[in-house]
Structure formats: structure tokens, C-alpha cells
Chain A
Amino acid sequence: MNAGVPFRRMVGKRAPRKEDARLLTGRGQYTDDVRMPGMLHCVFVRSPVARGMITALNLEAARELPGVHAIYTHADIGQVPIQLMTFFFTPIAAPISLLANGRVACVGDPVALVIAESRAIAEDAAALVELEIDEEVPVVTISDAARGALVHPGTESNCSQEMGAAEIPEAVQAILDKAAHRVTKTIRHQRIAQSPMEARACVASFDGAEELTIHISCQSPHFVARYVSTVLGVPQEAIRVVAKDVGGAFGLKNMPWREEMAVIVAAKLFRRPLKWIEDRFESLTASSHAREQEITLTAGFDAEGHLLAAHGDCSINNGAWPMGEDCNIAVHMFMWPAYKLPAYSFHTRGWYTNTMGLGGYRGPWALESLIRETLLDDAARQIGIDPIELRRRNLVRREDQPMTTGMDITVTDITPYECLEKLLSEVDVAAFRKEQAAARKSGRYLGLGVTTYVEPTAVAGIMTPLTGETAQVRIEATGKVTAMLSTHSQGHGMATTMAQVIADRLGVAYDDVTVFDSDSAIGSYSPGAAGSRQGVIAGGASWRAAELLADKVKRIAAHLYNASPETITIEDGMIHIAGAPEMSRPLREVAEIAHGEPFRLPEGMETGLEAQYRYQPPPMTFTSAAHACMVEVDPETGFVSIKRWVSSEDCGTIINPGIVEGQIAGGLAQAIGQVLLEEMPYDAHGNPLAATFKDYLMPAYTDIPDFEYLHANTPSQTIGGMRGVGEGGAIIGPPTLVNAIADALAPFGPLDVALPLSPHRVLEHIERAEAAVRLEEAI
């Protein structure tokens, strides 16, 4: 850090977002807003059945429709060799092609691509394609997958990934056998449709033989350039990817998938710019889904409630064409770093089924917090101890660190215990318990959920695509500052937060800093939004690049004005020399000289005023939090209403509290959706049953309470001290709400957690308990 640069306090301020000026006035540029001369429109013909062989694909009638330019099938698209990759740049294991190659393996499988004058004509033509499929019995659920036919004939098993063993290792079993208390919990997590408000979209244009321009709704133009280059085997320097504004992504858009790649290949074959805009029906049923998992966790405690050992067994329904065959090992890796748990073993499997493939979603390993925190509440009830006290006895505290727990994860500066104490200073648990007891007497069911967690953010340097970040900062000849970043924003507000950092470290006005982050032609490779990294790593890169640039300004000013560099400060775009106020100069004067009068610069100094820094942070930076949620469950209707929600998080240095709180709130809203509303069910024939926003229940205005925020600010070891905050709400939110509901319904016995906890399921739980009581009374 450079102590010479005055801290301008833009970091930590609720600066108004720079993005808003265009987004609020309809001047954003999302992919569907891009028009190119000669551009045509694409629509996919998709499989209406879950599994079978294509016996006929008749395109005649569709091709004859005026305005239709071409209809491609695998026979056409397949001429261009490709190798689809996972997010980690390993080959997809399933026998995948961009369009179905003779077989369909899920409803929504793309079979043909129509190219037409307009989207309406392309849709008309798609409806005229005659597709016949010899239907086979599909494999839909995880238990189907274990018993049913192979989803991909020729593979060895529907279990595509497996780690650990079903048998609990003797060492762990021995501890569990001797434990004073043993608690087992199972959770069935439903399938989620990520549902960004802007569905997937791309425009691809081959410009001559060697240049490809892609506008795409994505999470990193650099990642897309690298991915397309790798998949197509063409030089990356020929590919330019632009994503000026993106209407939400949430992990779904962290890589282009079959449709975007098919449009790119079709543009190469057809030699016209092609646009594909996914509609909501496709977005819900044929975009990669997320989450569908089952997990069982068993934990042993001593008589005082100290954790002794645990074993987790997880299965994930990956669908037919997942964005990577995955057994979600991260669930097990990140289950225990916040807790003192001597021994953990696991078994984890990923399964193919005839459903849409899974992709990324905010907090992809979040099941660990859900199962752990709900099990801890069950354990507290079973042991007869307060759930908060149970956490206090087991959480890793500051004085315990560094500590290596569970799966060889070492924590050095986590603060879940401190976040919990801070939370409890704001939430009067004793008063709530009194209110709860009184309410129960009058037949009202209130509940409190309190949870803690830690999360690895800004992972860099230990997984192929997850790298450092570059910031290039320059002072233009006008004195204004331009920054070009490798990171990318899909509503995260990077143009705002990074300008705050740069303004502070450089000593210029926030309004004078402009940030660009939406084009693979600027900056350098980074995965953009992936793993809660932008504020931490791009923030660190911007921080240091601005300092390097400030140093250069000082060296030039010292030379020009016969002063020593240590006496020079930059404030509000003015250069000041200590003890010589009359010598103050606008930064623009130095900028003009640096650009236009090189002979006035110190001997040998590069002209211009720019600095670049690529920041490689520590491999992981942990964020901690504790949340509390209070609910009332209506025993007549099964409806859950959220009365209060308090977040107490530690994301280190906060660049902009408005943006940090926005990230927490957005994650919590998605958490509430997962627990109460959202579900992409499949019927026994493999049909997705939520095809509109009337069926797929997105959290609405009236479903979300006012959130309260408490911030701890323990600086991390990164430049600037930030910690990631993008995913946390979606990770700690679900167990907080589930625990509150389970607490409210405790008089009706332990809650079976199958998400979503819809009114129907809540009523079932209550009625089952009441029936059991009636039965007991009858006996």
C-alpha cells in the first residue's frame, strides 16, 4: 500500500451507480438490442420427448416457407468439428453434439436450427418441421438412474462421477457408534431454473475468413473467447466477444452451451450474422437447470454437544447433458471449515438422467450449509440444548486459527463466531422465545432460524479457469481517467465499485473515472463473474494499478516542479506539493506533458500515463456470516410469512455498502424462492412441468421482507482487504429459512425437508402430525 496517496473515502461510500444512467433511461445494450446488417434470426426445433431414436426429420414444408433461409440439422452443423468443454476446460464426457445426433436424451434437446428473416418466421418454420421419434421409457429420477436403462448407450453406467465410498470408513463409524448423540438428516433439493430476466442470447458474425465477432449474454467475454476458441479449435486472436449489458446470469451463463455454439457454427456455415434470443419457455425448460440433489448427513456429538464425526452421502441429478459431469465434491469440501469437526467422510455421485442437463447457479455447493445447519438444529432439539449454544460450542473462533478442518481446508481469518455474536446483539432471542411461547398458546406458530457459515470466495490459481484479474488504468491527456478491466458485470456494478477504488487510490474525483469491462478486446483473461471474485480480485488489481499510476504521476511532477516525489500528493485531480501551495497544478497539466511533450519527462521514462497490474490473490479468501430469520406459519393454509431477516456478514473492506447489500439481498431472495416457491418438476415421462412464470414461481415483491444488515469489516489478506459477497445470501439463506420454519412447526414433530416447502407440503406435515396424535388418542 502506498501511504502517500491520500485516502479519499470513496471506498466505503454509497456512491450512485454509474451504470444506472443508461439502464434507467432505456439506453442499455443487451444482446437482443444488437443489430447487424444482413442479420438473420435463429429458432431451435427441440425434442418433445425425453428419450428415443429420431426416425424421421422432414424439413420440406418448413424450408418452403417464404423468409426461411436454411434449416440445419446435425448432418450440417456436425461438419464443423467441435469438442465441447466443461467450465474447467476438460472435455464433456457424454457423447454430446450441438444438435441431436440420431438420439434425443431429454425434452428440449435441440434437433434442428431454423434460420429466417425474422424470429416470427423462424418460429413458424420450426412448427412445420416434422419430427418423429421412436419413444423409449426415460430415466427421470436419481433412483431411476440407478436401476434404469443407460441414458447414453455405450457408457458404462448412469453414475458418471463418484468419489468416496458408500461404506462409512471404520474410523468414522467407530466414533459415530460411540457418540452420545447421533443425528441423521436427509434433504431432497428440488430442481431450479436459474431464470435470469434476460434469457440466453447471442449474435454471431464471421467477418471474412478469420474473424469472428460474438455478442453474447455471458459472465465473461474473455472466458467466452477462450471457450469458443478451444471448442472450435480456431485461434483466439480471431475472436472478439462483446457483452455490454447482461440481464442477469447467476452461473447459468458462465459458459456458452450447445445453442450458442450451434448459432456460432451456423454463422460460420451460412456466412451471415445470426441472432438467437431464447424465449421464456426455452429458458425454463431447455436452459441448463440447477441444484437437483439428495443428501443424507449423519453426525455424532458427545454428551455436551461437541461434534465428533460426520458422514455425508450426496447424489446429484445431472440430467442428460450437464455442463460438466459433476458429483459436487465441493459440498463435502466446504461443509465443515467453520466448525471444529475431528473426522468427516463422504460419498458423492453424479447421475445421468433423461432430463435437461445441470449448469451453474449461485453458490453451487450451497447444499453443505443447508444440510449442516438444519442438522445442527435437529441435533439441538434431540440433545436438548439451545441451537445457538450448540453452534457456540462448535464454531471455529479467531483464537483457534489457523485451523485445518475436515477436508484439509485451512482457515486463518474466518469470523463466523464473531458474526453470530454481532447478530445476537441485534436479535433479542429471549424476547422472541417468550413471544413464540405465548403465540403457541393461541394457536399461532412462530419460528426462529439462526445459522452460521463460511464461504470460499475469489478462488484463484488452483483451478484452470479461475485466475487473477488485470486492471489497466490510464490518465488521458484530458486529465480524465479510463480503466479497462478483465472482470465483467451482469448487474454487479463493477463500473461503480472499481471507479470508487481507482478514485481513492489515484486521488481523482469519482466522476472523472470511467470503467470499461465488457469486451474481450480490452483487459485480459479472467472468468468474470465466477465464485464471488470481482470485488476482491478486480478490486485488488484496480487498487494496485491506480497506486502504480499515482507513483508515476508523482515522479513526473517531482521532475517538472523541482520537488521530491514524497512531498507530492494528488487530491481531487490536483497535484499538491507540501509546503508550496502556490505550486498546485491540475493533474491534466502533467497528463498533457506526459502524452504530448515527452522531452519534458524524466530521462528514460515511458511516455503517456498508464499502469497495468494483474493481481494474483491468495488461493481462497473466506467470507463469514450469521443470519437470523423469524417466520409465522399459518396452520390453516400452510403459508409461511417472513417477519424479520437480519444478516450479519463479514466481507472485509466494503467498497460500496449499497452494492454489497444488493448482492446479499438478491441471494436471499433466491434462497426464499428455493425454500418456498421455485420448482422445475418432471413427470414420469420426463416432461418438465413448469413452462411459464405462472408455473415456475419466481419470488415476487410480496414474498420478500425488508432485510437488515450488519457488517463486520475484518480485512482479508488481499490488496484492499475485500472478501467476496456475491453468493453468500444464496448459501446461508436456505438453511436460515428452513430452520425458522422447522422451529415454528416443532410442535408437529421433525420436519421432512423436501424443497420447496410449499403450503401443500407444510399442511401435509401438520396433518400427518395431527393424524398421529389422533391415532395415539384412539389407542
Chain B
Amino acid sequence: MSEHRIELTVNGRRHGATVEARTSLGEFLREELGYTGTHLACEHGVCGACTIMLAENGNGGQAVRSCLMLAVQADGAEVTTIEGLAEADGSLHPVQQALRDNYGLQCGFCTPGVAITLAALTADGARPEVEDLEAAMSGHICRCTGYQGIRRAIRQLTGTAQPAGEHA
């Protein structure tokens, strides 16, 4: 089994490590670096729970499934995991806040991936339409919420609806 030396930045911190070629980025982040907020739920690229943000060669952050990418492929990349989303002072990222305001999570296992995808699509002042964010959510499975709170969070993020469920 071949081993490779990689260097990458995770949540602004530089890390160097030797990894087996077969180790997925998700497993590496969890097992080697301790970023256990990244959850591996299907490990075949369908559920989206393991989504992280990846920037390479000056590209803006893209939402990437860390179960479908090998750690060696992230050599030189800048990775943002769920642990890196909130401000240093603890204040939540607007996506995290919108999910919290709208009961967008229950068990929380799929949540890191959902939050990262929404954060990647709203990064750098991007103003996506509701439809863009909803289309991206088709790549995430949540077993608890029926997606109701995620949908309200998307409306809050795009300024298209009232927060919370005071409609009833």
C-alpha cells in the first residue's frame, strides 16, 4: 500500500501528514486530524453528510463530498469543515444561525454537510436564488426533519420568507 506525504490547511491551520493512498479525505479529517464534526454516513457519495468546503489553486470554496475524495488529492488544498464555519468569537455563521432559528436539525448527523453546502453557495457575497439552494439540497439526506426547517432556513438566507414557524 503506497503512502504519501501531504500538506493542507484545515480551518486556517496547516497540517502535514503521511497518508495511505486509499484513505478518504473524510476519514483522514476525522481519524488523523480529529475534525469529527465531518460525519461519514453512507461513504458512497449519496447522503452528503460528509460534505466539506475545499479551495484549491485560488478557487473559491467548493462543497465536496469528503467520502469520495482521497486525502492525497487534498494535498495543498484549503479545507473548511463544520468546525471552521463559526467566527472565532463563537458567533454562528449565517447558515448555522438560520438552521438554528428554524429547527433545521434534530439529531444533527446530516447537519454539518447541509450547513457546509449552504455556506459554500452563499460564500463571498454570492446571492443564490432559493431554487439554487434547493437544488443543492437534493444532494443531502436528512432522516429526521422532513427538510422543513432546512427549507425555512433557505428562505431566511435568501430573504424570501419569515423565519421560524409562526405561520400556524
Chain A interface residues (CB < 8 Å from chain B):
14, 16-17, 19-21, 23-30, 32-33, 118, 120, 195-199, 245-248, 250, 279-280, 490-493, 657-659, 661-662, 665-666, 668-670, 692-694, 698-702, 704, 706-711
Contacts and interface: CB of A to CB of B under 8 A. Distances in A.
A733 B25 CA distance: 39
Listed residue (B81, B85, B100, B167) with the most chain A CB atoms within 10 angstroms of its CB: B100
Contact of A20 (B82, B99, B168): B99
Given A20-B99, A26-B35, A26-B112, A247 B148 contact: no
Interface stretch (B37-45, B58-66, B70-78, B121-129): B37-45
B15 interface: no
Contacts of A668: 146
Nearest to B150: A701
B107 interface: yes
Contact of A197 (B30, B41, B134, B138): B41
A452 B151 CA distance: 27
A20 B100 contact: yes
A14 B165 contact: yes
B99 A706 contact: no
Contacts of A490: 107
B141 A250 contact: no
Given A25-B85, A658-B165, A692-B46, A247 B107 contact: yes
Contact of A280 (B43, B82, B108, B112): B43
B83 A16 contact: no
A250 B41 CA distance: 16
B154 to A, nearest CB: 10
A436 to B, nearest CB: 26
Contacts of A196: 107, 109, 143
Given A196-B107, A662-B106, A280 B44 contact: yes
Contacts of B103: 14, 17, 658-659, 661-662
Overall SS of chain A's interface: loop
B53 interface: no
A665 B164 contact: no
Contact of B144 (A26, A118, A666): A666
A414 B159 CA distance: 41
B96 A694 contact: no
A491 B168 contact: no
Contacts of A700: 138, 141
A702 B134 contact: yes
Contact of A279 (B20, B36, B43, B99): B43
Interface in B117-139: 134, 137-138
A704 B39 contact: no
Interface in B1-55: 20, 22-23, 30-31, 35-44, 46-47, 49
21 contacts: A14-B166, A16-B100, A17-B105, A20-B100, A24-B105, A24-B108, A26-B36, A26-B85, A32-B30, A33-B36, A197-B39, A197-B143, A198-B41, A198-B109, A247-B110, A491-B107, A662-B103, A692-B46, A701-B140, A704-B148, A709-B168
Contacts of B137: 701-702
B115 interface: yes
Contacts of A661: 103, 148, 165, 168
A662 B168 contact: no
B92 A197 contact: no
Contact of A26 (B38, B140, B167): B38
A692 B38 CA distance: 20
B41 A25 contact: no
A737 to B, nearest CB: 13
Nearest to B67: A280
A25 B37 contact: yes
- Per CB-CB distance, the 10 closest pairs between chain A and chain B, nearest first, are A26-B37, A247-B109, A491-B107, A23-B108, A669-B146, A491-B106, A26-B82, A665-B146, A693-B46, A701-B137
Contact of A23 (B105, B140, B143, B164): B105
B162 interface: no
Contacts of A692: 42, 44, 46
A702 B134 CA distance: 8
A711 B108 contact: no
Contact of A707 (B43, B85, B146): B146
B84 to A, nearest CB: 8
B107 A197 contact: yes
B109 A248 contact: yes
A26 B83 contact: yes
A248 B99 contact: no
B157 interface: no
Given A20-B100, A24-B115, A693 B42 contact: yes
A704 B22 contact: no
A401 B165 CA distance: 34
Contacts of B158: none
B125 to A, nearest CB: 22
A25 B23 CA distance: 24
Contacts of A492: 106
Nearest to A194: B143
Contacts of B31: 118
Contact of B145 (A19, A28, A666, A710): A666
A14 B143 contact: no
Contacts of A657: 165, 168
Listed residue (A19, A24, A699, A700) with the most chain B CB atoms within 10 angstroms of its CB: A24
Contacts of A28: 37, 108
